[in-house]
A and B are shown apart, each in its own frame.
Chain A
Amino acid sequence: MQQQEIEYQYSANSDLDLGEQSNDRMTINMGPQHPSTHGVLRLILTIEGETVIKAVPDIGFLHTGIEKTAEAKTYHQALVLTDRMDYTTPLNNNLAYSLAVEKLLGIEDEINDKIKYVRVILAELQRISSHLVFLGSSALDLGAQSVFLYCFREREVILDIFEYISGVRMMTSYICPGGLQAEVPAGFDAKVRSFLDYFPPYLQEYHDLLTNNPLWLERTKNVCVLTKEDAIAYGTSGPVLRGSGFVWDIRKAFPYSGYEKFDFDIPIGTNGDVYDRYMVRMLEMEESLKIIRQALDGMPSGYYRVDNKKVTPPPKWQITGSMEALIHHFKFFTEGYRPPQGEVFVRTESGKGELAFYIVSDGSAKPYRMHVRGPSFANLQALPRMVEGSFLSDVVAAIGSLDIVLGEVDR
């Protein structure tokens, strides 16, 4: 097995041997401006007829240097950078970053249950919206255009909830180290509950449109299979790993933010093909609804920030009346807080898979090093393994099923 892996690695990267080429073998570019590469992914495909012999992903077109930029920002400022990595799951990124900074500060025990529950509700809503983007765009790639429109219609409802709670639709930065940016507005509960009632019929509609649709089955069943062993060897995570039949979810394995209190299942696939990855995500949306309902029912009361003056700026009304509060406010936003020296690696389950932050602190107010272990980066690495030997048109299906976001791959 291991020997085989090494051989594969070498063969995949050795240069093209022109001597053995048959006449109809050719190298073509897919992307970086191809609509079904979900951004700016470029694939260099060697094809023989319709069969893909070799696929080499070329990434880096969207490299924005987020890890470098974060080293020049205070911990509070670096939060907004995390929104922009995986722009379909900004709140999951905020959550992962906040958990890492809180662990670095040693205040993770001070986070009260209300903060945790609101975070879980938002993270699960974000997971649903991320899966809707996956569903819409991958169905669009395979020719089911109406699904795309339906999915974005439902996603809009989720974004409205985010706008209601934070004032921003996508890059909310609402979850921050030490709690939430603002108090949860009254009526949030009712809005989320109405979404819980609104969404299931539409989820059923997607199932009706795709799950048993012969065209969809033809394009996805037994297409671009990733075996369990490969899925682990290549470090894939999330629905890709679960689609290959491995029961693995960070929310269950290393519960964070109170996930241990909720009852939910981990859907898994059997074959590891495109259909299984699709099905896992469809079922995960139902599980997310279950978690949100439990969190709403058990929502405790509490303050939206930790009662720790180091990481919590004073409330706005105090600033106008108290000189000390004004100084505190000024110090907080200009200098920030200084976590003790050390390093943390905090992993969470985002919509795409395992999202982890590795933050090294040297005792100053800025992260000495912030590394992001993004799920898309590792998942994309398994792409050549999936598509080599399959048809050119299935490459589109494989990319769609990986659900990559290039903003996170390139960071």
Chain B
Amino acid sequence: MVITAASTVETVRTKFPRAVIETFEDRDELTLLLKPENLVEVCNSLKKDLPYLETITAVDWPERVPRYDVVYQLLSLESQCYIRLKVQVGQRREQHPEVPTVTGVWPGANWYEREVYDLFGIVFSGHPNLERILMPRDWTTHPLRKDYPLAGFDLPEPHWGGQVPYNVDPGVDSHYYEQTLRTAEGRELNESRTDINPNQEPGTTKGS
């Protein structure tokens, strides 16, 4: 069966009548506006026909409630059609709105969701490793939000240039460096590590 964007919309509409809020077409591109709570089940059923997740991104509309569009682009390699899914989240004064993760459907969603979390502050609940990916790990704000200034804003000194604490590595528990590692001969591997970096808090500086 040949799948088109329109037939996909029909399938979703009949299968999940409550999930679809709206469908709209702009410049030959179909968009399905979904409820966030139904996102994962719709994606699961769409995966058979549209197995390729192109990207996940978000758009910030600060005046609007809900504030964020989270955008998913799906592609069918066999039928050569594509569709855009959207969910809208972010109530007034909600700092970190939540969207269910689709990493269970597409493992490739992992980094895209981390990017959206990093740059927009949208939390993907159930994500296996939701950490900052592009910005430094101790960054506290989300740059692609519209209320984030383009240039020139004051951070306290240790944050200049987004200084990352020396004992924090992605993928490695910070706890790891507190352990004493030994080689097969019993020599301590990291005996001098604490002298170099006494587990400093990012806000403090030693000596200077």
A residues whose Cβ falls under 8 Å from a Cβ of B: 2, 5-6, 8-10, 13, 15-16, 18, 23-24, 26-27, 44, 54, 56, 58-60, 63, 65, 67-69, 71-72, 103-104, 106, 232-236, 246, 248, 253-254, 342-345, 347, 354, 356, 358, 360, 368-369, 371, 373, 377-378, 381-382, 410-411
Contact = CB atoms under 8 A, between A and B. Distances in A.
29 contacts: A9-B103, A10-B128, A13-B171, A15-B175, A16-B176, A44-B169, A58-B169, A58-B171, A60-B134, A63-B135, A65-B143, A68-B148, A71-B150, A103-B27, A232-B52, A232-B77, A233-B106, A235-B106, A246-B77, A342-B26, A345-B54, A356-B73, A358-B55, A369-B59, A369-B60, A373-B55, A373-B57, A373-B73, A381-B110
B156 interface: no
Interface string B100-115: 0001111110110000
Given A60-B134, A234-B108, 19 more contacts: A9-B103, A15-B176, A16-B172, A16-B173, A23-B183, A44-B171, A44-B172, A56-B171, A63-B135, A232-B52, A233-B106, A235-B52, A344-B29, A345-B29, A345-B54, A356-B54, A368-B59, A377-B111, A381-B110
Interface of B is mostly: loop
A72 B146 CA distance: 11
**A-B pairs with the 3 shortest C-beta distances?**
A56-B171, A235-B108, A13-B129
A411 B133 CA distance: 12
A365 B136 CA distance: 32
Nearest to A385: B107
B84 interface: yes
Nearest to A410: B134
A56 B170 contact: yes
B71 interface: yes
For chain B, the bracket of interface size reads 35 or more
B134 A360 contact: no
Contacts of A343: 26, 29
Contacts of A18: 176, 179
B51 A232 contact: yes
Contacts of B189: 26
A383 B25 CA distance: 36
Contact of B104 (A2, A71, A236, A411): A2
A256 B40 CA distance: 32
B182 interface: yes
